[in-house]
Amino acid sequence: MSALIIWIMGAGLLLINIILRTRILRLEASLKALRGSQEYLTYLHQQVQATQDNKVTAIKALRKKYPELSLIEANKLWQQIQ
């Protein structure tokens, strides 16, 4: 009986995790759509000037200010500036 309760609780937690992860992904997508890539590019360009063309520092600052950006997306933005 206790094993059944553990399985049910595990399945419930897994479903909650999936639902929350989906919600977070949707929120991040809508946030990216609201901000637009021009805002990201402007901030990254400012960071490049402030850090004397240090790629790593500029990308870290960009991702700290905009945590919804992945490392791959931030790197693509860096390539657009260069």
Q: What is the pTM of this model?
A: 0.67
Mean pLDDT, rounded, for 5-28? 95
Domain count, the chain: 1
As a whole-number percent, the residues of the chain with pLDDT over 70 amount to 100
Contact 60, 24 (CB under 8 A): no
Residue 32 has pLDDT above 80, yes or no: yes
Q: Report the alpha-carbon distance of residue 24 to residue 44 in Å, rounded.
A: 24
The whole-number average pLDDT for the span 40-64 is: 88
Q: Residue 68's domain spans which residues?
A: 2-81
pLDDT(53) > 80:
no
pLDDT higher than threshold 90 for residue 33: no
**Mean pLDDT estimate for the chain:** 90
